[in-house]
């Protein structure tokens, strides 16, 4: 039996945790897709019999350009995991700081107000983790509870926000910051002329996003976003092969099946329906769909699985075209865009959804 809403439905019980604000940060180095393709072509020309075919895969992802953590000319020097990861730590700390500062300012809160700091990533490793380094940078309180999460992949922006909201139910007077930093460009395996790498090197970009969540008993003076009414995670059995990393001497080599869209198309609908039904809701009750920008085909599959009109995913498609897939940060960029647009009205329901390695889905029911 799945989780069910307490008696009385959505309006019952203690006030829910709330999204107070979403902050975002992008590195300053932006390149259009053809410039990036030309740089990759230099590596691929000796690795594949028909480099033009890899270029076609690269273009098929419908991304206009990406922000990179470093200027393009710095990447040839990153020959190996050590150098790439050192660059990742430096850039992730800077970008993470910018995203958290943006989020706190939007929420009308300061570093001293933070009680919990969550940090999710799948593109680099650091011990002490980036959240510890940011406690020093931002002068957070010494008592801040930190939770670094590695491995949820693209689903971690949704999953981390869900876990943070879940914990705030136990500590409703607290403030949580959930930070995602993904520097996908620093995982590039330049010698890998595989189809997965051709697609992913065309699709993934760099960026950071931070969500400020307040417990149900913790008010703020700033404009407030939606409540996180409920969360659900679903692991799809025996789909470990769909996506992930193979850890090689050079770093993180991407595993990305061309069947991701099919998995999304066949699995997501029933799980979203079950999640909504547990709260007495159906798809038609959801006004705002905040979907991870997995790729053009993944978004199409998501829309088909749920019978959504094209307009429902327009914000996700726009973000994908402009920034690429920012892994776990993507869905938070889309949420931030929705909050900025001011389209949601009190009482509106939203569903935030992301899928990632496992293969798994993370779902959050939002209410404005």
Partner 1 sequence: MTAREQAVAAEIRRIVREELREPGPFADDEELAGRLDSLLLLALVTAVEDRFRVILGADDAARTRSLADLARLVAAREAAPAPGPEAAP
Which residues are known to be catalytic? 154
Q: Which residues pair with 66 in a beta bridge?
A: 31
User: Is there binding between residue 241 and partner 1 (CB under 8 A)?
Assistant: yes
The number of residues that bind partner 1 (CB under 8 A) is 18
x/- site string to partner 1, residues 23 to 52, per CB under 8 A? -------------------------xxx--
46 close to 354: Cβ distance less than 8 angstroms: no
Picking from 244, 353, 26, 161, the residue whose alpha carbon sits closest to that of residue 147 is 161
Which residue lies nearer to partner 1 by CB, 153 or 295? 295
Q: How far is the CB of 10 from partner 1 (least distance, A)?
A: 38
Which residue lies nearer to partner 1 by CB, 50 or 221? 50
CA distance 130 to 96: 8
Cα separations in angstroms, 177 against 26, 126, 300, 357: 18, 19, 31, 23
Q: Give the residue, chosen from 10, 39, 60, 255, that forms a contact with partner 1 under the rule CB under 8 A.
A: 60
Picking from 157, 156, 137, 117, the residue whose alpha carbon sits closest to that of residue 24 is 157
User: Is there binding between residue 137 and partner 1 (CB under 8 A)?
Assistant: no
Which residue lies nearer to partner 1 by CB, 93 or 257? 257
Q: Give the residue, chosen from 37, 54, 104, 203, that forms a contact with partner 1 under the rule CB under 8 A.
A: 54
CA-based max dimension of the chain: 64
Cα separations in angstroms, 362 against 26, 85, 95, 163, 357: 24, 28, 25, 10, 11
x/- site string to partner 1, residues 280 to 319, per CB under 8 A? -----------------x----------------------
Q: How far is the CB of 159 from partner 1 (least distance, A)?
A: 25
Contacts of 76 (CB under 8 A, 6+ apart): none
Tokens of 212: 């400020």
User: Is there binding between residue 257 and partner 1 (CB under 8 A)?
Assistant: yes
Q: How far is the CB of 337 from partner 1 (least distance, A)?
A: 26
Q: Which parts of this chain interact with partner 1 (CB under 8 A)?
A: 48-50, 53-54, 56-57, 60, 193, 195, 198, 241, 257-259, 261-262, 297
């Amino acid at each position: 039996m799945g989780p069910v809403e307490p008696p009385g439905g959505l309006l019952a019980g203690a006030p829910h945790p709330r999204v107070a604000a979403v902050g975002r940060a992008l590195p300053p180095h932006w390149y259009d897709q053809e410039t990036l393709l030309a740089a990759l072509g230099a590596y691929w020309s000796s690795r594949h019999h028909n480099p033009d075919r890899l270029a076609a895969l690269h273009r098929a992802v419908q991304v206009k350009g990406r922000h990179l953590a470093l200027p393009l000319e710095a990447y040839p020097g990153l020959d190996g995991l050590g150098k790439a990861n050192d660059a990742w730590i430096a850039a992730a700390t800077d970008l993470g700081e910018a995203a958290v500062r943006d989020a706190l300012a939007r929420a009308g809160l300061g570093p001293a107000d933070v009680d919990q700091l969550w940090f999710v990533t799948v593109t680099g490793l650091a011990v002490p983790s980036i959240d510890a380094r940011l406690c020093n940078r931002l002068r957070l309180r010494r008592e801040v509870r930190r939770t670094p999460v590695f491995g949820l992949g693209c689903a971690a922006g949704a999953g981390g926000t869900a876990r943070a909201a879940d914990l705030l139910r136990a500590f409703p007077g607290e403030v949580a910051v959930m930070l995602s930093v993904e520097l996908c460009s620093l995982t590039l395996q330049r010698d890998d002329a595989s189809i997965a790498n051709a697609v992913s090197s065309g699709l993934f970009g760099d960026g950071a996003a931070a969500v400020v969540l307040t417990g149900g008993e913790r008010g703020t003076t700033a404009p407030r976003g939606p409540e996180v009414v409920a969360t659900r995670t679903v692991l799809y059995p025996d789909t470990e092969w769909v996506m992930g990393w193979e850890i090689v001497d050079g770093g993180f080599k991407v595993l990305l099946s061309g069947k991701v869209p099919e998995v999304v198309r066949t699995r997501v609908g029933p799980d979203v329906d079950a999640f909504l039904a547990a709260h007495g809701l159906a798809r038609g009750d959801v006004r705002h769909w905040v979907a991870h920008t997995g790729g053009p085909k993944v978004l199409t599959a998501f829309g088909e699985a749920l019978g959504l009109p094209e307009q429902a995913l327009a914000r996700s498609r726009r973000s994908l075209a402009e920034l690429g897939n920012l892994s776990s940060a993507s869905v938070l960029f889309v949420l931030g865009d929705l909050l900025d647009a001011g389209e949601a009205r009190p009482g509106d329901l939203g569903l935030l959804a992301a899928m990632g390695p496992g293969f798994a889905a993370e779902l959050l029911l939002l209410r404005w």
